[in-house]
Amino acid sequence: MPIRQAQPPDFIHVHDLITELAHFEKAPLEVITTPETLERACCSNSPLAWCWVAENTDGTIVGAAVCYVRYSTWKGPVFYLEDLIVSESHRRSGWGRKLLTAIIEFAKKQGYSRVQWQVLDWNQSAIEFYKQFNAHFDGEWINVHVEN
């Protein structure tokens, strides 16, 4: 059950997983990326993001994690986990643990001060999963954004 960095042919499958996640999060119309935009972001000479995939023994991509670097004025460079996705048919099979462990190990090797991410307050199964990693949950901050 290998975890590896995504290669150009993988991004169509990664995009399918992102679409599946958007449906799960009740926001299917919010996805405007394409496999091509993901590939450009992750495979350029100066990548904006990194992507790992979980590949089943038959070669099927069953999970993915997409991350990028953000900068904290207090903590320095932080590795931000944008999405950790395991296909519904492969959840509770160890893929999420393998993906998150790979991300945490990568971040440590690169010298990032922490790995950070968000989870929806109603996604109790994800919250319980993250607790297994001794994740810290911050209830004080409110997410804010402006659409362009």
Euclidean distance between CA atoms 143 and 71, whole angstroms: 17
Task: Judge whether 68 counts as a catalytic residue.
Answer: no
Asked if 69 and 36 count as a contact pair (C-beta separation under 8 A), the reply is no
Q: What is residue 5's DSSP assignment?
A: E
Catalytic entry in 68, 71, 112, 130: 130
Picking from 12, 6, 15, the residue whose alpha carbon sits closest to that of residue 85 is: 15
Q: Which residues are part of the catalytic machinery?
A: 130
